[in-house]
């Protein structure tokens, strides 16, 4: 992926949540290390182990530290070992399959469990049993009660009965890629497994750690399940075409059937993040992974919107870069038309500027500029023109890394290298685009320069004019609104002159 800078070590002046996330990682790391040391674990006594364990937490998102069961420190070592195995093609993909004891509570005559959202099938040799001691560990992740809490709840006169069930926990580590999670869930469904819980993590160096708790497989055939997975998962590794004959979902025209198709029933909506004229964006989860869900309203599904939706999916499924928002999948069956991407907890640059009223100093501005430049350079090298680059379409993750988002009007550049037709947002748009003249990737360079001015001044370009007036002003080049703060002119002039040179 070209750029190998560690994301987790970066500090961002205007995002206080970054240091808090780092502290949370440190707390869980210390707890796991303490438990391993107290248990006289052989590996924990090796030279350099503490650094290796910290690097394990550092390369994974904060969500891993928050969700992993720190009391099961050996599980962390297992994840660390699988990720190490994934580095070697000879041992990749690395797979671990084990039985785990899952606990659920029943109130009165209710048969509801903690996982009632999932469709249930007949489960061979995995029926619910009243709580009893088990030789099998609980799952490595999730909010399922541990054995001590389960006994405590049962001892109290609450009318609750705690049931336990043996399930299989499948842990997979391999090369990360945009459609991997969808491929794995499709494979497990084909094996007639019920996914009761799932956790997906991507490392900063391009590997994945995916954990599934499943039922509908005999507890006496754990080895057989492992063999089946070891035979089937490498086929996913070898799939370079991006197509999957297993999928039978109907799709929007111009978007080929692919393994990125997501079952809308697996999406959980939590709260609305933003609203637009044609739909809303929500924070939600997909198989326990935090995601952003861009949902299109059924009443607005005109041909123009369908075309933009298809184009956005077509482009996002092809790109993979740490400074481009990661595409996870899409639902193409009406009325659940939506695009699912990684959730960017830091929000947009527009929100930082105009809602939170935060200011970018030069150091922060350069960090953003470098991140956006890397993402846009990757897109341009792949002949993709964004056409709507602005602060609102730049999102920040929990580590302060800025990524390019929103490819609704992006296009793959024609072989001739030039394009026509006006699109994007007038205030950030290059003159040749507004005038419907031929243009190329340099139109993004113009928008990039306007975006830098926006970040530095904290103002919306041409905020005293209507969008149409701004468009006319850009074309006629008579607006003198692009004035930099006096204290930064000397430093920024050469930088913006460089943008002008690239644009011309």
Q: 396 has which bridge partners?
A: 347, 402
Are the C-beta atoms of 231 and 93 separated by less than 8 Å? Answer: no
Give Cα 204 distance to the centre of its chain: 12
Rounded Cα distance, 184 and 445, in Å: 39
389's enclosing H/E stretch is none
DSSP class of 157: S
Rounded Cα distance, 179 and 439, in Å: 32
- DSSP string for residues in 23-46: HHHHHHHHHHHHHHHHTT-TGGGS
- DSSP string for residues in 210-257: EEEEEESS-TT-HHHHHHHHHHHHHHHHH--S---TT------TTS--
Q: At what angle do helices 49-59 and 17-38 cross, to 10 degrees?
A: 140
3-state secondary structure of 495: helix
- Beta strands per DSSP E along 244-345: 267-275, 279-286, 289-296, 327-331, 338-342
159's enclosing H/E stretch is none
Phi, psi of 385 (to 5 degrees): -105, 125
What is the maximum alpha-carbon separation in the chain?
79
Dig out the tokens for 59 from the structure.
């390369």
Are the C-beta atoms of 446 and 503 separated by less than 8 Å? Answer: yes
- Beta strands per DSSP E along 287-379: 289-296, 327-331, 338-342, 347-348
Q: At what angle do helices 362-381 and 489-503 cross, to 10 degrees?
A: 10
- Tokens 């502290």 -> residue: 23
Please count the other Cβ atoms lying within 10 Å of the Cβ belonging to residue 311. 19
3-state secondary structure of 267: strand
Kind of pairing between the strands at 279-286 and 267-275: antiparallel
3-state secondary structure of 259: coil
CA dihedral 201, 205, 207, 209 (to 10 degrees): -30
Residue positions annotated with a catalytic role: 388
Length of the chain in terms of residues written: 504
- Tokens 């029943």 -> residue: 106
Give Cα 7 distance to the centre of its chain: 14
Rounded Cα distance, 403 and 344, in Å: 9
Kind of pairing between the strands at 267-275 and 194-202: unpaired
């Amino acid at each position: 992926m070209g750029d190998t800078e560690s994301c987790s070590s970066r500090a961002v002046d205007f995002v206080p949540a970054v240091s808090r996330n780092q502290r949370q990682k440190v707390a869980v790391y210390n707890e796991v290390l303490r438990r391993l040391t107290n248990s006289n674990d052989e590996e924990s006594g090796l030279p350099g182990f503490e650094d290796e364990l910290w690097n394990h937490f550092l390369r994974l998102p904060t969500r891993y530290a928050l969700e992993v069961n720190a009391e099961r420190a050996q599980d962390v070592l297992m994840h660390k070992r699988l990720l190490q195995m994934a580095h070697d093609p000879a041992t990749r993909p690395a797979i671990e399959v084990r039985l785990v004891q899952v606990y659920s509570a029943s109130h009165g005559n209710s048969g509801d469990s903690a996982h009632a959202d999932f469709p249930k099938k007949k489960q061979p040799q995995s029926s619910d049993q009243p709580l009893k001691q088990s030789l099998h560990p609980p799952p490595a992740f999730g909010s399922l009660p541990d054995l001590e809490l389960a006994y405590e709840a049962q001892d109290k006169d609450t009318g609750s009965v705690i049931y336990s069930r043996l399930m299989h926990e499948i842990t997979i580590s391999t090369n990360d890629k945009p459609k991997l999670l969808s491929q794995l869930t499709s494979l497990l469904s084909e094996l007639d497994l019920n996914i009761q819980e799932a956790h997906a993590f991507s490392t900063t160096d391009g590997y994945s750690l995916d954990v599934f708790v499943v039922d509908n497989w005999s507890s006496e055939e754990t080895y057989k399940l492992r063999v089946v997975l070891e035979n089937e998962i490498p086929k996913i590794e070898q799939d370079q075409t991006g197509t999957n004959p297993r999928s039978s979902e109907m799709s929007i025209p111009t978007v080929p059937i692919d393994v990125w198709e997501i079952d809308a029933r697996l999406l959980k909506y939590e709260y609305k993040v933003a609203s637009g004229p044609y739909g809303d964006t929500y924070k939600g989860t997909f198989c326990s992974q935090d995601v952003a869900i861009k949902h299109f309203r059924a009443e607005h599904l005109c041909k123009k919107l369908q075309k933009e939706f298809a184009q956005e999916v077509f482009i996002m499924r092809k790109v993979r870069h740490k400074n481009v928002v990661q595409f996870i999948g899409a639902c193409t069956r009406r009325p659940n038309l939506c695009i699912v991407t990684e959730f960017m907890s830091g929000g947009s640059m527009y929100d930082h500027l105009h809602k939170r009223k935060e200011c970018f100093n030069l150091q922060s501005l350069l960090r953003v500029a470098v991140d956006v430049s890397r993402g846009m350079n990757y897109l341009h090298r792949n002949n993709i023109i964004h056409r709507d680059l602005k602060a609102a379409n730049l999102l920040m993750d929990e580590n302060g890394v800025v990524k390019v988002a929103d490819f609704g009007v992006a296009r793959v550049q024609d072989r001739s290298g030039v394009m026509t037709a006006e699109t994007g947002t007038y205030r950030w748009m290059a003159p040749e685009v507004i005038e419907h003249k031929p243009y190329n990737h340099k139109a993004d360079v113009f928008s990039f320069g306007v975006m830098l001015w926006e970040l530095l001044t904290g103002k919306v370009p041409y905020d005293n004019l209507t969008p149409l007036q701004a468009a006319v002003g850009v074309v006629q080049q008579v607006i003198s609104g692009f004035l930099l703060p006096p204290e930064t002119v000397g430093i920024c002039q050469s930088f913006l002159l460089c943008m002008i040179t690239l644009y011309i």
